[in-house]
Structure 1
Amino acid sequence: MFESRGALGVLRNQRPGTHGVGGMELFFDLVYVFTIIQLSHFLLHHHSWQGAAEAAVLFAAVWWGWNYTAWAMNWLDPQHAAVRVLLAFLMLCALGMAIAIPESFGDRAWLFVGAYVTFQIVRSTFMVLAFRGQQMGRNYAQLLSWSGIASVVWIAGAAAPEEYRLAIWALAVVVDYAGPLVGFWLPGVGTSDMSTWPLDEPHLAERSRLVFIIALGESILILGGVLLEAELTAAVVTAAVMGFCAIVILWWLYFSARHGNAAHEAPDLDQASQVARAAYAYAHAFMVAGAIVAAVAIELVVAHPLDNEGWPVALTLSAGPALFLLGNIVFVAAHTGRAPKSRIVALILLAVVLPLNALLINLLAGAVVTLILLGLLLATVTLRQSSRPEVPAH
């Protein structure tokens, strides 16, 4: 993949597509099991517009830390001792962020920001040193500069009064996420073109599949936890089965051979980095967030199936699948240049049924959303079967 193993001797030297996900990368993802649980519980305990906005900001930071690390591991050798130490340190930072999440907009703001800023700066600095003397070293130096600018805003938010924290941290998220879109432009330096990032797209696709499975796993954990405490009435059992079906449908849609992140033909090397930026950095942020919100919706319905909680539950029920579908649309468009019509129709239906679901008890509202997802799945499977070429009989 590279002519040399870099200044620190920590770079991979395989060609793209020839290496899988290393054991240390899987170990690193373990901390995100706890982090996703913390995020879903935060949203459950702050079930309001402000709580949703705060959860979105927290998720954006958590995701960006994982995303940049996943990209870095495209180029780093997971067997090298220095890389393993780096990932272990980044795990500690991610754990600090997760611990801070419940009180991140209160007493633990400095813990969350300190862990996140350290996470971003240390990793990017390591990459600059690893690529010293190469084009990628220049690229990562520009990325490091943008992370530094965003870090100033994150720190300013932690230092500001609590009533201003959300707005300032939202600005920090904008700075963080805008960096790749403008090529990490710096005055007097210019941009870092995506063609100069020789990415191994199949490796990043596999990393994204694994983290999405972790996000879906939170739904299973929540469902099991609620059932342990609940009286297993007919309504509760029905809601649980329906929630389980929704999880399976989201999994099936995600791994759809037609419009999902299943095994697919990798883009040309010239376009791989540009496709990956849209498909994995941004599209997967929506899909993983959708899985987390879906977990929250499942708990709300299973815990109170016969209650009518109006718009809060109706919005949560639609928001999870809607976020997933929005990410799926961006993912497919990045790979094919076309937005899948079936996903767009499902998005419209989720919006249309919102007023109806606000009037229904939670169980029936959940059933309406699940039926929309089931219809989408059936359409996807049918279109997949009909698009297969006929095999001539011998």
Structure 2
Amino acid sequence: MAELTPPHRSLLRNHGGGHAPVSNLELFFDLVYVFAITQVSHTLLMHLSWTGFAEATVLFGAVWWAWMYTTWAANWAEPERVPVRIMLLVAMLASMVMAVAMPRAFATAPDDRGLLFVCSYLALQVGRSVFMALAMWRDERVAAMTMVRIAAWFSLSTPCWIGGALTQEESHRLALWAVALVAEYAGPIRGYRLPLLGRSQPSDWTISGSHMAERCALFIIIALGEGVVVTGANFAAAPPMGPRITAFLLAFVGSALMWWIYFDVGAERGAKHIENHAEPGRVARNAYTYLHMPIVAGVVVSAVADALILEEPRGPVTEGLVLTQCGGLLVYLLGTAVFKRFGNRLGNTPLSHLAGIALLLGLGGWSLWRGPSAIGFFGCSVVVLAVVAMWEWGSYHGGWEERIGRLFRRRAG
């Protein structure tokens, strides 16, 4: 009697583009990135210079790319299957090692941990891609080929990563790692085009749009939570006094307003847009993989400003405080504005965000010129966020735009 072939048990969710819930393991995985984001902001705070900013940018780019590719993998892979669980836990360990190495990734011997950072990053990116290619090969051959191209694409950037880790010249390491990241970030745009392997199309990426939107929204929460932790830790480390209490309250209000600006309108509209789009993979690439990066980066940089104002709330404003607060909020508002444009059926950029960007540019320039008090400058930047939040809320919930339009039409008539 012929032996019966055991039924094939797929490692994939097989959601067909429908809803895929965020698993508890994915939330557990995110805890490492709470630590990683904290490491990035701490690195920038300890090396508050243009070189330090460039190094922190490279580190943040690697952190975001590692988290984002794991999010894509978890969108397809079924976390209830043991092999997938093991893959995510191993990825979690590699992410932890990467985060531990980050503060000394650009240090010189004997404190140099650049090679440890690079090896953990490459092991995570290449290893996860190979696992997903094998997991998809039987059920999703086209998507599996995308994973093969991704693994090859990361392998092509490996010489720059390793070469940078082996050099002891800080500027050379920074340049080589930046080249590696630029090449990797070009991958999704180029469809991971490679000789003999061809290229991938966004139509090949059958993802769960709701899962992608929820995961990215949760990462915004992670970044905002890191700012809250920085604020609380710095406030607890020094005796409470009038200016420091004021700075603490302003930092908290600023974090709350940043949450409000993203989640009041943008998050829900973006989720509906990707869920109903004919090519959710294209939206996930443009609106979430790329455009959420400046949103998170802005939150991280503004957390550095929170730490600076709590360290010394008295006295005149410093250049570092102006650049981190105005710079972080500018990047945040710009990223949020472009993201919301994707979810807007009219394709409009929110006027409130553009006004906020203009106000921050004016505030930053004036503060560098006139040198107001640190607490006064910080309070004004929070007022700008409040203006943006109230303007947008009134536009979408209070019907201000419609009323103004009717008023102009009535006068014109």
Q: Which category of TM-score, normalised to the shorter sequence, fits these structures? A: over 0.9
The alpha-carbon distance between structure 1 residues 150 and 338, as it changes in their structure 2 partners (threshold 3 A), is: farther
Q: Equivalents in 2 of 1:281, 1:7: separation in Å? A: 32
Q: Which residue of 1 aligns with 2:114?
A: 109
Q: Is residue 392 of structure 2 the alignment partner of residue 380 of structure 1?
A: yes
Q: Equivalents in 2 of 1:117, 1:82: separation in Å? A: 20
**Matched residue type, 1:354:** G
Q: Which residue of 2 aligns with 1:3?
A: none
1:363 CA drift (Å): 0.7
Q: Which residue of 1 aligns with 2:37?
A: 36
Q: Equivalents in 1 of 2:241, 2:218: separation in Å? A: 34
Tell me, yes or no, if the aligned pair for 1:105 and 1:165 is still in contact at 8 Å: yes
Deviations 1:91-139 (A, max 9, x none): 1100011110110012000010000000000000011111115111111
Q: Equivalents in 1 of 2:277, 2:130: separation in Å? A: 26
Tell me, yes or no, if the aligned pair for 2:270 and 2:342 is still in contact at 8 Å: no
Q: 1:342 aligns with which of 327, 340, 352?
A: 352
1:262 CA drift (Å): 5.9
Tell me, yes or no, if the aligned pair for 2:16 and 2:207 is still in contact at 8 Å: no
**What secondary structure, in the 3-state scheme, does the structure 2 residue paired with 1:266 have?**
helix
1:261 CA drift (Å): 4.8
Q: Equivalents in 2 of 1:22, 1:7: separation in Å? A: 23
Q: CA RMSD in A?
A: 1.9
Tell me, yes or no, if the aligned pair for 2:94 and 2:124 is still in contact at 8 Å: yes
Tell me, yes or no, if the aligned pair for 1:350 and 1:372 is still in contact at 8 Å: yes
Q: TM-score, normalised by structure 1?
A: 0.93
Residues 1-394 of structure 1: pairs in structure 2 closer than 5 A: 9-106=10-107, 107-133=112-138, 134-163=141-170, 164-257=172-265, 259-261=266-268, 264-267=271-274, 268-336=276-344, 337-358=347-368, 359-387=371-399
1:330 CA drift (Å): 2.6
1:352 CA drift (Å): 1.7
1:186 CA drift (Å): 1.2
Tell me, yes or no, if the aligned pair for 1:256 and 1:262 is still in contact at 8 Å: no
Deviations 1:12-44 (A, max 9, x none): 123433321001101111111111111111111
Q: Equivalents in 1 of 2:277, 2:75: separation in Å? A: 14
Q: Equivalents in 2 of 1:263, 1:276: separation in Å? A: 10
What are structure 1's unaligned runs of at least 5 residues? 1-5
Q: Equivalents in 2 of 1:262, 1:304: separation in Å? A: 40
Tell me, yes or no, if the aligned pair for 1:283 and 1:331 is still in contact at 8 Å: yes
**Matched residue type, 2:391:** A
Tell me, yes or no, if the aligned pair for 1:310 and 1:360 is still in contact at 8 Å: no
The alpha-carbon distance between structure 1 residues 125 and 264, as it changes in their structure 2 partners (threshold 3 A), is: closer
**Matched residue type, 2:389:** L
Deviations 1:267-302 (A, max 9, x none): 445321111111111111111111111111111112
**What secondary structure, in the 3-state scheme, does the structure 1 residue paired with 2:75 have?**
coil
1:353 CA drift (Å): 1.4
The alpha-carbon distance between structure 1 residues 302 and 83, as it changes in their structure 2 partners (threshold 3 A), is: same
Q: Equivalents in 2 of 1:263, 1:283: separation in Å? A: 12
Q: State the identity %.
A: 37
The alpha-carbon distance between structure 1 residues 193 and 21, as it changes in their structure 2 partners (threshold 3 A), is: same
Tell me, yes or no, if the aligned pair for 1:7 and 1:129 is still in contact at 8 Å: no
The alpha-carbon distance between structure 1 residues 264 and 35, as it changes in their structure 2 partners (threshold 3 A), is: closer
What are structure 2's unaligned runs of at least 5 residues? 1-6, 404-413
Deviations 1:161-190 (A, max 9, x none): 323101111111101100001111113443
